[in-house]
Amino acid sequence: MPLNPVKKEKASAARQFFGRRGTLSQWHPNYEYRLGQVEMAEAVESALRDKKHLIVEAGTGTGKTLAYLVPALMSGKRVVVSTGTKNLQEQLFFKDVPFLQQHFPRPLMVSYMKGRGNYACRQKIYDAEREAVLTGLEEYADFQIIQDWEKTSEFGDRAEIKTLPENSSAWAKIDARRDLCSGQKCAQFERCFVTAMHQRAAASDIVIVNHHLFFADLGLKSDDFTGILPEYHAVVFDEAHEIEDVAGQYFGVQISTYRFQELRRDVSALSRAKKFGSLELDRVLERMEELAGHFFARIDAPEGRAAFPRRQAFVDTNLESYTDVLASLELTASYLKMIKDAPDEIIPLHRRTLELRESLRFVMEEDDAEYVHWTERRGRGVFVQATPIDVSRILSGRMFDKIDTVVLTSATMAVAGNFSYVQKRLGLENARTLIVPGHFDYRTQALLYVPQDLPDVRDPAFTKAAGAEIIRLLNASRGRAFVLFTSYQQMRMVYDRVSLSVEYPTLMQGTGPRNALLEEFRRTPNCVLFATSSFWQGVDVPGDRLSCVIIDKLPFAVPSDPVVEARMRNVKETGGSAFYDFQIPQAAIALKQGFGRLIRSRSDRGVLTLLDSRITKQAYGQVFFDSLPDYGFTTNFSEVEKFFDV
């Protein structure tokens, strides 16, 4: 349903393409007319033509990818398409674009770009053949795979190597990260995979990137550096509900123990490879890492994220340690600058040393009320970060005011039928808007079940009762389920109760790589996967392998998280309600994402279960119901059993 209907021309190019007797109907072997796809394509076409911004929620099955890709190709403008994941990037480039290319009367100039760490550096590969940079049998075996692949690869993209382990340490030694790149001075510059990537992008009408690369580019341009992407007129964000968090990451500043360790490692490796090392340099690097270790050890960072409000007091108390770290970075930078006949790769390392020093100063000394400062401990690593509290002003000034057309699309952006939440969070007040209903018959395909007799989710008795209810549901569904949680602790506690009490195979997040767990779930009949937030979105398991999605609680963000807490406080200070204007809309979008895993095609059927009865007992629950598709609904378990017996 259009909120601000866009004026349509009688026979738009989009309608000619997607209409009942349009071009697509003649091409596609499984063509199915979708009114929502036509409406979305016309809205994108009009926004590109009129230089307007557009927000579109397009339900699953709409065909939104082609609905924005075709108008972008027809626009005559260079359009950047930014996706939420690299997997979606690859699907667009290797599946959707070739399909269109079979039928378009002209060659489609489309390219994709990823971060430099995804590409191999030819010079590093050739150097590794001669120099002692590899250690251990595993690295040598991985390097042999990379070496053979490099000889025939067109793109140099790591994703092409299916046999390379996900955590290969050999790849980290030969990737094309900017930190060790000598640019045009490199002997392999003309043959460089990154050079080729930029050349293809400069010659393309459509450039497919991911959100992380897009905002890395926007951040560089904002700091007066040369950007990564070629000039463009418009951008389409697919999975646009993610961009607030990604933008916050790239317009923030982070330091960590790992940044110091990696700097020492990279300088040391280069000094050995290029033979400019010395005992004095080794001592400088060792001292820098040692002083940084002492400094970070003084930061009382618990596991997980915690606020760091008393930074000035911390610096005052630990002034000597802090100034020692700054001085060690200055000394390292000076040493690198003075190396006689230094190789070109020293330049980016010198720049990186100075950037680390400035980042340390910013997170420890900057007193900007627009940032929230926080710490995090992950294993042995300690992180300190400054994150923008409100990215709306940043995005408004640096993106929406400067780009002719920005299209935001996702299956989950509207809350209770409008976009006011996402518009305010992103700083996009004046935009055309459109809601395209899903293409499925949700009322008959999906049943939403909310049990009423479980304890309140805040009651300690909830975990035991939830485990019993999950067992009952899994027996009715014969496994074939995702059980999704809002916390790792709750997931582990329930998994321990349930996994031994059901006859179906069970998997739990954290016991293997995400993709490996998904693949095992897809190929294992009657399997049950227990998982948390990273499985709530971007996961596609069509068919009866997945017939039940169970969610433990309404997915409210943890209010004690420092970034969430700061954003809630900011909403209050600007006259809003943190609960109704921030927490509820955010949770409604997250719940839609979780439930969206189930119905992925017109033949899918299944039960969606929310074990949190607040959705039916609290007045605010109506916001969640108004945000969800029109599922069948019950509070009676016998209806669940009947649904599965059909």
> Which one, of 453, 400, 470, 460, lies nearest residue 430 by Cα?
400
Indicate the DSSP class of residue 637: H
Strands lying side by side in the sheet with 371-378: 253-256, 381-388, 371-378, 304-307
Q: What is the pLDDT of residue 199?
A: 95
* Rounded distance between C-alpha atoms, residue 481 and residue 529, angstroms: 6
Tell me: the pLDDT tens digits for 101-111?
987 888 999 99
CA pair distance 233, 197, nearest whole angstrom: 19
Residue 394 has a pLDDT of 94
What tens digit of pLDDT does each residue of 414-434 get? 999 999 999 999 999 889 999
Over the stretch 138-180, which tens digit does the pLDDT of each residue have?
A: 888 999 999 999 999 999 999 899 888 877 888 988 899 877 7
Distance CA 521, CA 516 (A): 9
The sheet carrying 206-210 orders its strands as: 110-112, 206-210, 79-83, 234-238, 405-410, 54-58, 432-436
Helix axes 319-338, 346-365, angle to 10 degrees: 160
Which residues of the chain form CATH 1.10.275?
A: 253-388
CA distance 19 to 25: 8
Confidence of residue 197 (pLDDT cuts 50, 70, 90): very high
Please tell me whether the overall predicted TM-score, pTM, comes out greater than 0.75 for this model. Answer: yes
Q: How many Å apart are CA 347 and CA 189, to the nearest integer?
A: 16
DSSP state, residue 103 = T
**More reliable by pLDDT, 540 or 331:** 331
Which top CATH class is 442-645? alpha beta
To the nearest 5 percent, what fractions of the chain are helix, strand and coil?
50, 15, 35
DSSP 459: S
Residue 572's alpha-carbon distances to 211, 340, 567, 576, in angstroms, are 29, 58, 9, 5
DSSP class of residue 96 equals I
- Specify the pairing of strand 381-388 against strand 371-378: antiparallel
Q: Are 344 and 189 in contact (CB under 8 A)?
A: no
Q: What pLDDT, on a 0 to 100 scale, did the predictor assign at position 303?
A: 82
Residue 600: what are its φ and ψ, rounded to 5°? -115, -5
The length of the chain in residues reads 646
What pLDDT was estimated at residue 8?
45
Cα separation, 443 vs 576, whole angstroms: 35
Do residues 471 and 611 touch, judged by C-beta distance below 8 A?
Answer: no
Closest by alpha carbon to 263, among 184, 188, 331, 167?
A: 331
Q: What percent of the chain has pLDDT over 90?
A: 70
Over range 68-87, report the average pLDDT: 93
pLDDT at residue 274 greater than cutoff 90: no
Q: What is the pLDDT of residue 587?
A: 96
633, β-bridge pairs: 448
Rounded Cα gap, residues 440 and 536, in angstroms = 20
Residue tagged 């394509």 (tokens): 41
Per the DSSP assignment, residues forming a β-bridge with 623 are none
Bridge partner residues of 2 (DSSP):
434
**Residue reference for tokens 């709306």:** 392
For the chain, the maximum distance between any two Cα atoms, rounded to a whole number of angstroms, is 80
- In 182-233, beta strands by DSSP E: 206-210
What token pair was written down for 50?
Answer: 């009129």
pLDDT at 226: 66
CATH H-level superfamily of 1-109+204-245+391-438: P-loop containing nucleotide triphosphate hydrolases (3.40.50.300)
Ramachandran region, residue 235 (left: φ > 0; alpha: ψ -120 to 50; beta: rest): beta
From the list 379, 378, 270, 256, the residue with the least C-alpha distance to 325 is 256
Neighbours of 131 (CB within 10 A): 14
The pair phi, psi for residue 109, each rounded to 5°, is: -90, 90
**123 and 345 Cβ atoms separated by less than 8 Å:** no
Residue pLDDT, tens place only, 515-533 = 888 899 999 999 999 999 8
Rg from Cα positions in the chain: 26
Pick the CATH number of 253-388 from 1.10.275, 1.20.58, 1.10.760, 1.10.3470: 1.10.275
DSSP 547-580: -EEEE-S-----TTSHHHHHHHHHHHHTT--HII
pLDDT in tens, 540-593: 887 889 999 999 999 999 899 999 999 999 999 999 999 999 999 999 999 999
pLDDT for the residue 433: 97
**Residue 199's closest CA among 286, 109, 285, 93?**
109
pLDDT digits (tens, 9 = 90+) for 333-342: 999 999 888 8
**In sequence order, what are the residues at sequence separation of 6 or more whose Cβ sits closer than 8 angstroms to the Cβ of residue 539?**
482, 518, 597
**Can you give the pLDDT at residue 9?**
45
Nearest to 182 by CA among 112, 265, 273: 273
pLDDT in the model for residue 7: 47
Spatial distance between the Cα atoms of 521 and 505, rounded to a whole number of angstroms: 9
Distance CA 625, CA 452 (A): 16
Q: Specify the residue for token string 């069970």.
A: 506
Inter-residue contact 402 to 387 (CB < 8 Å): no
- Minimum mean pLDDT among 377-381, 407-411, 422-426, 627-631: which range? 377-381
Q: Is the pLDDT of residue 509 over 90?
A: yes
Which residue's entry shows tokens 């926007």?
A: 218
> Which residues does residue 644 pair with via DSSP β-bridges, in sequence order?
none
**Poorest-confidence range of 26-35, 487-496, 580-589?**
26-35
Given this model, what pLDDT does residue 298 score?
94
For 111, 128, 186, 200, 344, the CA distances from 122, given in Å and listed in that order, are 21, 10, 10, 18, 16
Measure the N-to-C terminal CA separation of the chain; round to a whole number of Å.
33
Report the C-alpha gap between 474 and 481 in whole angstroms: 7
Helix (H) or strand (E) holding 270: helix 257-273
* Alpha helix stretches (DSSP H) within 274-389: 279-297, 311-317, 319-338, 346-365
Residue type for 301, please?
Answer: A
Strands (E), 302-458: 304-307, 371-378, 381-388, 405-410, 432-436, 446-449
Distances (CA, A) of 267 to 5, 119, 129, 197, 574: 58, 21, 19, 27, 47
Q: According to CATH, where is 3.40.50.300 located in the chain?
A: 1-109+204-245+391-438, 442-645
